[in-house]
Amino acid sequence: MNDYHFLTLWRLTAPLNEVWDTLRDVDHWARWWPCVREVRTLDPGDADGVGAVRALTWHGALPYSLTFETRITHIDPMREVRSVATGEAEGTGVWRFETEGSITVVRYAWDVHTRREWMNKLAPLARPLFRWNHNYVMRRGGEGLAAVLNAHLVECLDTDLPPATLGKERDPRELREARARVSHDSHR
């Protein structure tokens, strides 16, 4: 198995409550997120959505799809959603929400490993392509979210970070340092 540790940042000109409501409505992601091919609710969870299980099928720019189930393990309204994934990709995901003035900031940390044998065998050579495909999926999600909210995607940043322990807050300085490295490297 191969481990991947991604952090995606979206900055949108949309109110936090609209961003929150749209992302919490996982059953309708395929309407606005082009890389989501199918969502099936297997268990609706409790009244707040904790315990909800959904099977999602994703297809990025590369010629393969991944299907996995996500189970919501924690919800802090308007701040955070945590989930665990099992299936062709397994790991943990954490959505975090905050505002910076009129901008809503969404961070998604995805610590995952692949279960598909062909992906694991090709990973030593294809890992950069798999990362690129993940980043493509997330960029399309940010663009789709902005479009459905009639907003502007001010920034979309994807980076690899060291793995975080579930429950440990990722330091925002890591993101700033990664952004500075990306900016510095692109100007060389």
Q: How do residues 173-184 score in pLDDT, each as one tens digit?
A: 555 565 555 444
Task: State yes or no: pLDDT of 9 exceeds 90.
Answer: yes
**pTM, two decimal places:** 0.84
Task: State yes or no: pLDDT of 163 exceeds 60.
Answer: no
Write out the residue range of the structural domain in which residue 122 sits: 3-186
Q: What CATH number should be reported for the domain holding residue 66?
A: 3.30.530.20
The residue among 93, 102, 95 whose CA lies nearest residue 22 is 95
- Compute the average pLDDT of residues 114-131: 86
* Residues 6+ positions from 82 with CB-CB distance below 8 Å: 72, 73, 74, 75, 92, 93, 94, 95, 166
> Which of the pair, 160 or 65, is modelled with greater confidence?
65
What confidence score (pLDDT) does residue 89 get? 94
> Which of the pair, 91 or 175, is modelled with greater confidence?
91
Q: How many structural domains is the chain composed of?
A: 1
Reading the block at residue 19, the tokens are 């961003």
Interatomic CA distance for residues 90 and 113, integer angstroms: 5
The residue among 125, 160, 135 whose CA lies nearest residue 61 is 135
What confidence score (pLDDT) does residue 110 get? 93
What confidence score (pLDDT) does residue 162 get? 55
Contacts for 181-185: CB closer than 8 Å, 24+ residues apart: 182/157
Judged on CB neighbours under 10 Å (0-12, 13-18, 19+), 85 is buried
What confidence score (pLDDT) does residue 24 get? 96
